């Protein structure tokens, strides 16, 4: 090996990618590639990481041209999906490309891809030489998760580190530009009920509840039959756990005869909160009151999906309540309907909610932890705005913490 190629190999070994993660598939490579191809079809926007993983499998199968094509598809998909925010998500793809070019003895191109990765890392430092960017932790976790059951705990650890990174870097924002604009609009038109209810909802993010309470009261006085005011004010009251007031507001909306599926769903959420509140008061008993609120919630959810069959997030929540009622076959049938319709869903948050609900179903009702992890992970990998990914991440962290605690106890006994 020449001095130049030896130096290049040293650079390559520092990269974070499929070639350096010691992946050991526990199924035959063709079966694994079929599974990954299904993930590519399923995930659309998040398919970039699966193209890279499939490229590595094709390399292991000595299909280097296909591997190269898949890595190009990975880069193209990531750039189309994330635009100006693509660079951090290309670290693994470029690392794989550098290794592939090295094995093809195209050292110049290999060096070029190494340099691209190094340039990105300079631009986005992690603050610690031993830490990775959360996007890299996420892709590494998914790789461990897909290739082998024996590396499942390693995958969970990667997702936990990604979550910790995000939590450390989340900061409370000052009032947003939209909030400032709403205040300005209200100065011009101080009795506009729609603006009042919208600003109230915005202010909850900054815990300015006293001001928000006054705005909601004024909005309902100024234009009590406006569907927009009803929706915003009712949601505000629901978020503040003022459930009886929220129910009255949403029932007013139903009497107006507009946006019926939306108001019916919001009423269901009110009854769901009543059920949860009762469960918190009596955590170890399935009381008659809990059953009453659950049945009210189910009834309104069923009405909502009859009015709007495409309301998939409602189907998913309904399935969970069927499971709570003990009707497991109906719950599974309803989740099957959600998953069959999932490829048609364009709103990413709805896709995440469906995976979260199905994960909850397996976590709490079927006790199938592997399936729960699979769906929480799929939900976590769907790119959403700040804070919206937290539920799936929280559930994965709970599972990881429990497993780590169990491992520590096992070691003490040995």
> For residue 307, how many C-alpha atoms fall within 13 Å in the half-sphere facing its CB?
17
What integer pLDDT is reported at residue 3 of this predicted model? 40
Say if 64 falls within a structural domain. Answer: yes
Domain-ending residue, one of 134, 169, 204: 169
Say if 140 falls within a structural domain. Answer: yes
Rounded CA separation 30/27 (Å): 8
Rounded CA separation 234/241 (Å): 11
Buried b (16+ CB within 10 A) or exposed e, 48-83: bbbbbbbbbbbbeeebeebbbebbebbbebbbebbe
Gap between the terminal Cα atoms of the chain:
46
Q: Which residues have a Cβ under 8 Å from the Cβ of 95 and sit 6 or more positions away?
A: 15, 16, 17, 18, 19, 20, 113, 117
Q: How many residues does the chain have?
A: 414
Say if 261 falls within a structural domain. Answer: no
* CA gyration radius, the chain: 25
What residues make up the domain containing 131?
3-169
Q: Which residues have a Cβ under 8 Å from the Cβ of 321 and sit 6 or more positions away?
A: 294, 297, 298, 301
Please give the angle made by the CA atoms of 358, 360 and 364, to the nearest 5 degrees.
Answer: 130
CA dihedral 181→185→187→190, nearest 10 degrees, is: -140
What integer pLDDT is reported at residue 387 of this predicted model? 40
Rounded CA separation 132/142 (Å): 15
What integer pLDDT is reported at residue 350 of this predicted model? 87
Domain-ending residue, one of 127, 147, 169: 169
Rounded CA separation 233/189 (Å): 18
What integer pLDDT is reported at residue 59 of this predicted model? 95
Rounded CA separation 95/111 (Å): 10
For the purposes of burial, counting CB atoms within 10 Å of the CB of 140, is it exposed (0-12), middle (13-18) or buried (19 or more)?
buried
Rounded CA separation 289/277 (Å): 10
Element (H, E) at 174: none
Q: Cα separations (Å) of 109 from 9, 20, 62, 69, 239?
A: 13, 18, 20, 15, 55
pLDDT by position in tens, the chain (length 414): 444 667 888 899 999 999 999 898 888 898 899 888 877 876 666 678 889 999 999 999 999 999 999 999 999 999 888 887 889 999 999 999 999 999 999 999 999 999 999 888 878 877 555 678 888 998 998 899 888 888 888 888 888 888 777 655 544 446 777 788 888 888 888 888 988 998 999 898 888 999 999 999 999 999 988 888 999 999 999 989 899 999 999 999 888 775 678 899 999 999 999 998 888 777 655 678 899 999 999 999 999 999 989 899 999 999 999 999 999 999 999 999 999 998 888 777 888 899 999 999 999 999 999 999 999 988 888 766 444 456 788 888 888 888 888 887 777 776
Say if 135 falls within a structural domain. Answer: yes
SS3 1: coil
Say if 175 falls within a structural domain. Answer: no
What integer pLDDT is reported at residue 98 of this predicted model? 96
Say if 69 falls within a structural domain. Answer: yes
Rounded CA separation 41/29 (Å): 19
Rounded CA separation 11/217 (Å): 64
Rounded CA separation 306/311 (Å): 9
How many domains in the chain? 2
Q: How many other C-beta atoms can be found within 10 angstroms of the C-beta atom of residue 333?
A: 12
Rounded CA separation 60/25 (Å): 10
Task: Identify the CATH number of the domain in which residue 142 sits.
Answer: 1.25.40.10
Say if 309 falls within a structural domain. Answer: no
Domain-ending residue, one of 126, 146, 169: 169
Say if 16 falls within a structural domain. Answer: yes
């Amino acid at each position: 090996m020449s001095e130049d190629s030896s130096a290049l190999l040293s650079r390559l070994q520092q990269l974070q990618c499929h070639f350096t993660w010691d992946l050991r598939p526990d199924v035959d490579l063709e079966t694994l590639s079929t599974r990954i191809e299904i993930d590519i079809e399923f995930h659309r926007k998040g398919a970039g990481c699966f193209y890279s993983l499939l490229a590595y499998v094709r390399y292991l199968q000595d299909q280097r041209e296909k591997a190269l094509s898949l890595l190009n598809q990975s880069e193209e998909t990531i750039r189309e999906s994330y635009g100006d925010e693509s660079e951090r998500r290309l670290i693994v793809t470029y690392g794989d490309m550098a290794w592939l070019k090295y094995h093809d003895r195209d050292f110049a191109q290999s060096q070029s891809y190494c340099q691209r990765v190094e340039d990105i890392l300079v631009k986005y430092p992690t603050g610690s030489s031993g830490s990775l960017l959360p996007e890299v932790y996420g892709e590494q976790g998914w790789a461990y998760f897909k290739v082998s059951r024996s590396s499942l705990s390693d995958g969970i650890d990667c997702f936990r580190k990604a979550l910790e990174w995000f939590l450390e870097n989340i900061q409370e924002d000052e009032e947003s530009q939209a909030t400032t604009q709403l205040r300005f609009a209200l100065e011009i038109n101080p009795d506009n009920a729609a603006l009042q209810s919208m600003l109230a909802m915005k202010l909850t993010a900054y815990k300015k509840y006293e001001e928000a309470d006054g705005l909601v009261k004024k909005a309902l006085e100024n234009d009590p039959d406006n569907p927009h005011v009803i929706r915003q004010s009712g949601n505000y009251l629901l978020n503040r756990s003022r459930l009886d007031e929220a129910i009255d507001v949403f029932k007013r909306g139903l009497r107006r005869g507009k946006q019926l599926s939306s108001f019916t769903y919001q009423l269901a959420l009110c009854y769901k909160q009543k059920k949860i509140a009762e469960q918190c008061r009596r955590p170890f008993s399935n009381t008659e009151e809990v059953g009453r609120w659950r049945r009210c919630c189910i009834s309104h959810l069923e009405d909502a999906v009859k009015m709007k069959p495409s309301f998939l997030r409602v189907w998913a929540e309904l399935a969970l309540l069927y499971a709570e009622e003990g009707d497991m076959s109906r719950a599974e049938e309803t989740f099957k309907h959600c998953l069959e319709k999932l490829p048609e869903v364009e709103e990413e948050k709805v896709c995440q909610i469906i995976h979260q609900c199905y994960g909850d179903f397996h976590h709490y009702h079927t006790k199938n932890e592997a399936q729960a992890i699979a769906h929480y992970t799929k939900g976590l990998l769907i790119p959403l705005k700040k804070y919206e990914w937290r539920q799936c991440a929280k559930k994965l962290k709970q599972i990881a913490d429990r497993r780590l605690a169990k491992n520590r106890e096992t070691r003490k006994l040995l």
